[in-house]
Amino acid sequence: MRAVLNVHERSLPTSPEAVGALLDTLGSENDRLWPPDWPPVRFAGPLAVGVRGGHGPVEYVVSHYVPGQWVRFAFTGPKGFHGFHEFSVEPRGEGRTVLRNTLLVRPRGMRWLSWLLFFRPVHDAAFEDCLDCAERAVTDRVARPAEWSPYVRLLRAMAARYAPTLQKPAGTLRERRSP
């Protein structure tokens, strides 16, 4: 069975403490990291090891958590996805910090096809938007905002039509980016 390694990261002009503070808001009422254009991250309780959560059709349990530094989520759904995704905060010195999202998953059976056709493009778009949120939170702007491909726009439109609970209502960040 093949593994997928997918990494998104952004170097931010701020301290690890500032980026770690964003990480610690994930899934909370004051979530400053997760993009508003995507199904919200929800947890069954405060961010802590053992807490179940998810976003959209993806479900997981918090398997590791070092406040302000690192959180790992072990997948519990959808069925056929085995692995994790995580956020890490990495100091780079001279007032710079890297925020990284790493996904390692082993899709089984037909899940390979769903990874290639649906989950990968949607994951990539959502996590680039997440990094935009982090950059905006620490600098009040985004130097090069992520753009959704026409394919991601199509997938989101189809999800809104056939699985409306997977989508957020209109009037979010994406619309504010339009000229």
Could you read off the pLDDT of 135-158 as tens digits, one per residue? 999 999 999 999 999 999 999 999
Confidence of residue 165 (pLDDT cuts 50, 70, 90): low
pTM for this prediction: 0.89
Residue written as token pair 């390979």: 112
Is the Cβ–Cβ distance between 15 and 95 less than 8 Å? yes
Q: Is the peptide bond before 40 cis (omega within 30 degrees of 0)?
A: no
